[in-house]
Structure 1
């Protein structure tokens, strides 16, 4: 998990494979990196995709208890979420280095390197491109766009 805001990015969090329940997600992500990241932002709104752990009652309750404001976001429009484009940039970077025989820790290292290589200008560009993406989506009447 990673988070971005204009001019900033969070630390990257790797999930433990055997711990993917909502409580584990909250402990690993919300109570750690995300909470620290959002704490330094002024009036942050959290934009998440439709992954079940994001929508669970446990996660929702924790967010409400900690005054986390979530954007209402259509799950079927991932091309509007700036971080989805960032994941694609990272995926290309990792694919250049990844070998099928690579050990898990080496693979994680490649992912961390790709995250570290993302500069703030790229993040800002992705965020600033949202109005163009919305316009393009409207012109395409909700169908897939080049974004």
Structure 2
């Protein structure tokens, strides 16, 4: 699932997908985020912000992101994946909008 953001339509992003034979799902740019990685990434950003109390170099930020990802619990990942059904139902109740809290 990709939302047509510029990062998702770049040549370097598309070539590996094509070589692997991956098919792209049609997804409107204003569609709700139902992909588990979106909520996982939001949690990761919150964790990283807590650790970035001072301005770090790109290498320092990269190190923190790798550490936090390595320590991100499998239970949280499972929670986000298993919550998809309830999120989809909330999205349907909102008539396809993106104004539901979860």
Tell me which interval the TM-score lies in, with the shorter structure as reference length.
0.7 to 0.9
Which one has a larger percent helix, Structure 1 or Structure 2? 2
TM superposition shift of 1:62: 5.0
Q: Size of the alignment, in residue pairs?
A: 101
1:48 alignment counterpart = 2
Q: Which residue of 1 aligns with 2:81?
A: 127
Higher strand share: 1
Superposition deviation, residue 121 in structure 1:
1.9
Residue 26 of structure 2 corresponds to 72
CA distance in 2, matches of 1:107, 1:62: 26
Shift of 1:89: 0.6
Deviation per residue, 1:76-110 (Å, 9 max, x gap): 23431211101111011111110242222111111
Structure 2 residue matching 1:70: 3-state secondary structure: coil
Distance 2:57 2:42 in 1: 22
TM-score by length of 2: 0.78
Gap runs ≥5 in structure 1: 1-46
TM-score by length of 1: 0.58
Q: Which runs of 5+ in 2 are unaligned?
A: none
Q: Does the CA-based 8 Å contact 2:4-2:29 persist in structure 1?
A: yes
Please report the RMSD computed on the Cα atoms of aligned residues, expressed in angstroms: 2.2
